[in-house]
Amino acid sequence: MARRHGITADTYKKFIIDAGAVYTGFTNFSSLGTLLGATRGGSSLTIEQEVKDMEVDGARGPVVGSRRITMVKATLTVNFIEHTLANLKRALVGADSAAFETSWDAITRALVIEDADFLTDITLVGEVSGDSGGMAIKLDNVIADGNFELTFADKEEGVVSMALTAHFEPTDLDTEPWTIYWPNEDEPV
């Protein structure tokens, strides 16, 4: 009997490989935007969703057409090892800075999130093993809304893990604030 498996001649051309890089101001693959810094430990995308079952008497389980999406939350978690004033302020949403003495900036924060604290977008650009153009994950209207943690350890470098969450436009609550750009495939699905 022949072995069954999913490997084809194109299998190894369809892997997402390596860590990718994170940008803001992404327009397209020719204009990536501003690089935010080096990472360690990779990055990850989570799209949380709640799918509600609209229950009706007589239905013994889920019925086609009876389900709807009631909540979506897209978060890109990025582990920055390269630290800049801008990234530290991004990691502490609502933070500001001012010159302190001659060689330092002091980062402080009031408990207010302003519209100006939102990044228009954040985009993780990655590589696909069989495609020279790559792929990207773009989140819109982004703030870092996770906890801030920076660990200092002997013989190690500090990493700040930033959970960057996308937000819906108040004028368009039906369009989810994320996009995945994937290379065109030659084969029909």
pLDDT tens sequence across 26-54 = 999 999 999 999 999 999 999 999 999 99
Structural domain contains residue 140: yes
On whether the CB atoms of residues 74 and 166 are closer than 8 A, the answer is yes
The pLDDT score that the predictor gives to residue 188 is 43
Mean per-residue pLDDT for 147-167? 93
Structural domain contains residue 170: yes
Structural domain contains residue 153: yes
Residue among 32, 36, 33 nearest 22 (CA): 36
Structural domain contains residue 152: yes
Alpha helices in 14-160, H assignment, sequence order: 85-91
Nearest-angstrom CA–CA distance, 142 and 73: 11
Structural domain contains residue 148: yes
Containing structural domain, residue 100: 20-55+64-181
Number of domains in the chain: 1
Write down the residue that tokens 């920076």 correspond to.
150
pTM summary value:
0.88
Residues 6+ apart with CB under 8 A from 58: none
The pLDDT score that the predictor gives to residue 186 is 61
Residue among 119, 135, 171, 133 nearest 45 (CA): 135
The pLDDT score that the predictor gives to residue 184 is 86
DSSP 61-74: S--TT-EEEEEEEE
Structural domain contains residue 13: no
Structural domain contains residue 51: yes
Structural domain contains residue 15: no
Neighbours of 90 (CB within 10 A): 22
The pLDDT score that the predictor gives to residue 182 is 92
Percent of the chain residues past pLDDT 70, beyond the cut = 98
Residue among 70, 107, 113 nearest 87 (CA): 107
Nearest-angstrom CA–CA distance, 87 and 62: 45
Write down the residue that tokens 């693959």 correspond to.
29
CATH of the domain at 120: 2.30.110
